[in-house]
Amino acid sequence: MSENDTRSKVDDAISKVNEMGSRAEDAFRDFKESEAAEKLSEGIKRGARTAAEGVAKGAKIAAGGIAAGTKIASDTIRSNAEANAKKRASRKAAPFDQQSAFRTEGDDNKPIFRLRNGVVIPPIGYGTYLATEKGGKDVIRDALNQGYRYLDTARFYENEADIGEAVRESGIRREELFICSKVWPTMLGAEKLKESFEASCESLGTDYLNMYLIHWPKAGQSDEEWIPKLRESWTVMEDLYKEGRIRAIGLSNFLPHHIRPLLETARIRPMLDQLELHVGYMQEFTLRYLKHEKIMAQSWSPLGRAKMLEDDRIRSLAEKYGKSGAQILLRYLIQRGIPAIPKASTPERMRANMDIFDFSLTADEISYLSCIPEAGWSGEHPDLVEWG
Three-class DSSP category at 152: strand
CA distance 321 to 343: 22
Q: For residue 5, how far is the Cα from the chain centroid?
A: 116
Binding track, positions 178-217, relative to ligand NAP; x by CB under 6 A: -------------------------------------x--
Q: How many residues bind ligand NAP (CB under 6 A)?
A: 28
- Among residues 150, 157, 212, 241, the one annotated as catalytic is 157
Give the 3-state secondary structure of residue 302: coil
Which is nearer to ligand NAP, 351 or 363 (by Cβ)? Answer: 351
Mapped onto helix, strand or coil, the DSSP state of residue 242 is helix
Shortest distance (Å) from residue 286 CB to ligand NAP: 14
Q: How far apart are CB 307 and ligand NAP at their closest, in Å?
A: 8
Question: How far apart, in Å, are the Cα atoms of 177 and each of 49, 121, 151?
Answer: 92, 11, 8
Instruction: Supply the minimum distance, in Å, between the C-beta of residue 95 and ligand NAP.
Output: 26
Give the residue with the Cβ less far from ligand NAP, 210 or 324. 324
Of the CA atoms within 13 Å of residue 161, those in its CB half-sphere come to 3
Tell me whether residue 74 or residue 346 sits nearer to ligand NAP (CB atom): 346
Q: Closest separation between CB of residue 153 and ligand NAP, Å?
A: 7
Region 77-136 residues binding ligand NAP, contact defined as CB under 6 A: 127-129, 131
Backbone φ, ψ for residue 339 (5° rounding): -70, 155
Does residue 301 bind ligand NAP (CB under 6 A)?
yes
CA distance 342 to 211: 17
The partner residues of 265 in beta bridges, in order of sequence, read none
Decide if residue 253 touches ligand NAP (CB under 6 A): yes
Q: Does 295 help bind ligand NAP (rule: CB under 6 A)?
A: no
**Kind and range of the H or E run holding 251:** strand 249-252
- Facing residues of 298 across strands? 274
x-marked contacts with ligand NAP along 316-355 as a string, rule CB under 6 A: --------x-x--------------xxxxxx--x--xx--
Determine whether 269 is exposed, middle or buried from the number of CB atoms within 10 Å of its CB (0-12, 13-18, 19+): middle
Choice between 99 and 128, CB closer to ligand NAP: 128
Would you call 157 a catalytic residue per the annotation?
Answer: yes
Q: Which residue, 368 or 387, is less far from ligand NAP as judged by CB?
A: 387
Asked if residues 388 and 223 have their Cβ atoms less than 8 Å apart, the reply is: yes
Shortest CB 258 distance to ligand NAP, Å: 13
Rank residues 164 and 342 by Cβ distance to ligand NAP and give the closer one: 342
- Residue number of the CB closest to ligand NAP reads 127
Alpha helices of the chain — where are they, by DSSP H?
3-33, 35-90, 137-145, 160-170, 190-204, 226-243, 256-265, 284-292, 312-321, 325-335, 347-352, 363-370
The span of 96-104, 134-142, 255-263, 294-302 binding ligand NAP (CB under 6 A) equals 294-302
Q: Give the residues lining the site for ligand NAP (CB under 6 A).
A: 127-129, 131, 152, 215, 252-253, 274, 300-306, 309, 324, 326, 341-346, 349, 352-353
Active site residues: 157
